[in-house]
A and B are shown apart, each in its own frame.
Chain A
């Protein structure tokens, strides 16, 4: 029986033991690859509700140098059938974006720190190599980090190296709903006028821009939203100010010579102008 088949048939206790005895994984060994994932040790009925096979990807974000990734949904063609991503508008469907980090400094159940951590936020997946020096076959498990508590889950999975990464989802790192609202407050202040309907504008930004655009915009929006907190006459985030204060604040920021503030404001101004003139569309 191959090692993969052995792992598929092991009990949760055996899989847990393998995590505790696992071998380290070098982040560079994952970078730029898609791995075929198989859920292990789940009861049948849970398997039916979730995904038995999936892909996990590992991608080094050029702008930040962070190792990021996402899950790709696969058509459920069977355990040994080739991976066939589910498509929506011609693009693979991706879910659950994460960052891959080293375990140092992260709260984790005892012994879950031998490899790397796939970090979704509250949900984390420790990942180890099953054999020393072999990053083609990895074993993972999920746990929840809830404040000081770490709650183990029975969701184990196997990752097998599949092929170099062929698709990086656009807008993978796009702004979240509340960040968009901050951005809209910011844009309206920059152009000194209310914005027209921006739904299509956001959709285009999310789907057409390269992956580094989202984090860059996020940084600019956060900076300009929270800089007023440090200004004695405002002492609140931009969205918490009234309209006149927002305009006063943005005009003050426009005199700031710091390169980061200048660049952030320039980005906000271009986008705000696009959004403003979207209203002119026939």
Chain B
């Protein structure tokens, strides 16, 4: 047994029963934050995680995805077009495979939440969130990317943004002694990325918390309006039941948390509705000099000047196999282009979309629906133009916008402007995917419009808390892990006081 994992579900063939004061479902940033805070407060804690402990990390991008991503990264949302959404499934959750980018909750986003529900201002003051974020950043050692390990793809983005006069900066990352291997999205092979399996979970375990991996929770059991246990199944088939003396905390992500609520018969209120996201799109450029997109800090530079427009640009660092799929052409042309794989750079834009989708549980699996609005599509069109212009300004010889109905290759700014003016406004024309998900069990004072109260506790079920980004009243327009951890910390404070 590892130092981190107390019980591995791959060995649990018979019924397993356990008990703790606080039972947490999900070991990602949200679950780990609650686990740490509760364990530090002296409560007994069990964390149940469906995935396994990460590592050793495969060099193959495909194998890494098979081991660490839910559904091998092939989960999709259905709508006018099929849009993939990515999630980690491991001890440490999505933090194991995320880009290590850190942002605090922008005040303008928070103000939007308060405009929508004034009671939030007293229950969750901005200062309390900011204080919690500060603590998280300290523990995760968040620092701007060191130029020495940034690598050309990040430095070129800085150059492009500078030339266009767009505000930009090195990304603030949660790493220590990063060697710039560019593999954050496949799991850091050197241990430099301070994902929660390297930080918050070991802190919790050191104070007595127990992590059960390889266990899928299927249901929250309630008795007389109170959450008393969770029921699940181990990877080896054994039934699992963990009694909660004080609280059950759902931190299984904005997709799986509403599914668990619904599977448990807790369907009153907008459970699984209001799914918000940051759909991302990317553009590839060909440079004359080596870029080595797969090396350097995975995501080390960002353009922040368009955040208020709902567009945030980041350098992307992919495994060579994924990078290859962005190389233009097929057949002989692809084979020729592949020979200069080291000269392609891929940059992406995350959109603060208005679209609201839904999550349902069908036969225990997620059925996600999501359709971009016209305004979102206009934003996407603009983002493509910005990405193309950035590439050109950074010195790209050719840029490939990957947009149906648009030129396959763009070489000048006039063509880039055309993409915004006349680019397609149908979702199917864009190749997008989602990595940040919110709002499916939202927090609020009005039980008809929210699922949990301002104390993170379910409106109808005492002792049942939701700690992950399901509770966010909206998307944030920025990378969410710090805000998720801060809110989870505040949720934990309520659990401790209860």
Q: Footprint of B on A, CB under 8 Å?
A: 32, 59-60, 62-63, 85, 87, 90-92, 165-168, 189-193, 201, 204-205, 208-213, 216, 247-248, 250-251, 253-254, 257, 259, 262-263, 265-266, 269-270, 273-278, 280-282
Task: Kindly identify, within residues 277 to 336 of chain B, every residue whose CB is under 8 Å from any CB belonging to chain A.
Answer: 319-322, 324-325, 329-335
Q: Determine how close the nearest CB of chain A comes to the CB of B491; give it in whole angstroms.
A: 29
For the complex formed, measure the closest distance between the CB of A30 and the CB atoms of chain B, giving whole angstroms. 12
Instruction: Tell me the bound Cα distance from A201 to B65 in angstroms.
Output: 12
Given A166-B218, A262-B404, A213 contacting B66 (CB threshold 8 A): no
- CB < 8 Å: which of B62, B81, B236, B329 contacts A254? B329
Known: A62-B365, A280-B60. 19 other contacts (CB 8 A): A60-B362, A87-B236, A90-B10, A90-B236, A165-B364, A167-B364, A210-B365, A216-B82, A247-B331, A247-B332, A248-B331, A254-B330, A257-B405, A263-B81, A263-B428, A265-B330, A273-B321, A277-B60, A280-B59
Q: Which residues of B contact A90 (CB under 8 A)?
A: 10, 234-237
Contact of A259 among B58, B61, B234, B428 (CB under 8 A): B428
> Which residues on B sit within 8 Å (CB–CB) of A254?
329-331
Once A205-B72, A277-B321 are accepted as A-B contacts, the answer to whether A250 and B59 lie under 8 Å apart by CB is: no
B7 at the A interface (CB under 8 A): no
Contact A276 B321 (CB under 8 A): yes
Shortest CB–CB separation between residue B384 and chain A, in angstroms?
A: 16
CA distance A43 to B63 in the complex (A): 49
Residues of A within 8 A of B320 (CB): 277, 280
Are B78's CB and A32's CB within 8 A?
Answer: no
* Binary A-proximity of B31-65 (CB < 8 A = 1, otherwise 0): 00000000000000000000000000011111100
- Flag if B72 contacts A209 (CB, 8 Å): yes
- A281 & B334 in contact (Cβ 8 Å cutoff): no
B233 within 8 A of A: yes
**Interface residues of B, dominant DSSP:** mixed
Interchain Cβ contacts under 8 Å between A and B, 16 examples: A62-B362, A62-B367, A85-B237, A87-B236, A92-B237, A190-B330, A192-B333, A208-B71, A211-B365, A216-B82, A247-B332, A248-B331, A257-B405, A277-B60, A281-B60, A282-B59
CA gap between A208 and B220 in the complex, in Å: 26
Cβ–Cβ < 8 Å partners of B237 in chain A: 85, 87, 90-92
User: In the complex, A270→B320 CA distance in Å?
Assistant: 11
Chain B's closest residue to A260 (CB) is B428
Contacts of B338 in A (CB 8 A): 191
A210 touches B71 (CB 8 A): yes
Check B404 against A251 for contact (C-beta < 8 Å): no
Which A residues are CB-close (under 8 A) to B335?
Answer: 191-193
Most buried by A among B10, B63, B365: B365
- Give the residue among B72, B76, B236 with the most A Cβ atoms within 10 A: B72
Q: Are B364 and A168 in contact (CB under 8 A)?
A: yes
Q: Which residues from B are CB-within-8-Å of A210?
A: 71, 74-75, 365
Query: Could you say which interface size class chain B belongs to?
Result: 35 or more
Separation of A208 and B138 alpha carbons in the complex (Å): 36
Is the beta-carbon distance between B63 and A190 smaller than 8 angstroms?
no
Is the C-beta of B431 less than 8 angstroms from some C-beta in chain A? yes
Contact of A269 among B74, B325, B365 (CB under 8 A): B325
Residues in A with CB closer than 8 Å to B165 are none
A273 vs B66: C-alpha distance when bound (angstroms): 15
B interface, CB within 8 angstroms of A: 10, 58-63, 66, 71-72, 74-76, 78, 81-82, 218, 233-237, 319-322, 324-325, 329-335, 338, 362-365, 367, 404-405, 428-429, 431
Residue numbers in B under 8 Å from A190 (CB-CB):
330-331, 334
Chain B neighbourhood of A257, CB < 8 A: 404-405
A189 to B332, CA, bound (A): 8
Assess the A274–B321 pair: CB atoms within 8 A: yes
Q: Is the CB of B367 within 8 A of A250?
A: no
A266 to B81 alpha-carbon distance, docked (Å): 13
Asked if B324 and A276 make an inter-chain contact with CB atoms under 8 angstroms apart, the answer reads: yes
- Which A residues lie within 8 Å of B332 (CB)? 192, 247, 251
CB neighbours (8 Å) of A209 from chain B are 71-72, 74
Contact B334 A208 (CB under 8 A): no
Cβ–Cβ contact A274 & B404, under 8 A: no
Expressed in whole angstroms, the Cα–Cα distance for A204 and B75 within the complex equals: 15
Q: Chain A residues near B234: list those with CB within 8 A.
A: 90
Evaluate contact between B321 and A204: CB separation under 8 angstroms: no
Smallest CB gap from B218: residue in A: A166
User: What CA separation (Å) do A213 and B74 show in the bound complex?
Assistant: 7
A250 contact set on B, CB distance < 8 A: 330-331
**Distance in Å: Cβ of A206 to nearest Cβ of chain B:** 10
- Given the known inter-chain contacts A63-B78, A166-B233, A205-B72, please indicate yes or no for A277 contacting B324, CB distance below 8 A: yes
Give the CA-CA distance A90 to B10 in the complex, in Å. Answer: 7
Distance A269 CA – B324 CA, assembled complex (angstroms): 9
The 3 lowest CB-CB distance pairs between A and B, nearest first, are A192-B335, A277-B321, A208-B72
Q: Which of A92, A192, A270 contacts B325 (CB 8 A)?
A: A270
Which of A62, A168, A208, A277 is in CB contact (< 8 Å) with B66?
A208
| A16–B198 CA distance with the chains assembled, in angstroms | 64
Q: Are the CB atoms of B365 and A168 closer together than 8 Å?
A: yes
| Cα distance, A208 to B75, chains bound together (Å) | 11
CB-based nearest A residue for B365:
A168
A83 to chain B, nearest CB (A): 13
- How far, in angstroms, from A62 to B366 measured CA to CA in the complex? 9
**In the complex, chain A residues whose CB is within 8 Å of the CB of B329:** 251, 254
Give the most central of A32, A90, A254, A275: most B CB within 10 Å: A90
